[in-house]
Amino acid sequence: MVETHKPELEGETLQYRDDAWELTGTIEIKRNGELIAAEARKTDRVRGETGRLAFTVANGASSINPGNPENFVAEIEPQNTGYALIASRDHTTDRYELNSMQYG
């Protein structure tokens, strides 16, 4: 697991299971790059209940190298079925689909 900060994700808001979540910009790259866990907090709480939104690589595509976490730009893209985290590098783009979350 490698943790890094992606300022381009900071403040992005998305809906998951009837709650609004705001990304902090901190992500963890896990399972050899197949999973990205993004830190988030609920937007409707004074103290901001926290959680991690889990994005898994789509369609068995290539994934981010955890040994070099700084070499990509991340963005959130709405989809018909939820959200995707798009990781763009020099010559490739990886799509990670939001599929679960963990509180705290």
Give the distance, in angstroms, between the CA of residue 58 and the centroid of all CA atoms in the same chain. 13
Number of other CB atoms surrounding residue 40 within 10 Å: 26
| Structural domain harbouring 70 | 2-102
How confident is the model over 35-48, as a mean pLDDT?
86
pLDDT-derived band of residue 66, with 50, 70 and 90 as boundaries? Answer: confident
Confidence (pTM): 0.90
In total, how many domains does the chain have?
1
Residue 46 has pLDDT above 80, yes or no: no
How confident is the model over 41-60, as a mean pLDDT?
86
Residue 59 phi, psi (nearest 5): 55, 30
How confident is the model over 60-88, as a mean pLDDT?
88
Residue 53 has pLDDT above 90, yes or no: yes
Q: Which two tokens stand for residue 2?
A: 């490698």
pLDDT-derived band of residue 45, with 50, 70 and 90 as boundaries? Answer: low
Beta carbons of 29 and 4 less than 8 angstroms apart: yes
Separation of alpha carbons 17 and 20, rounded Å:
8
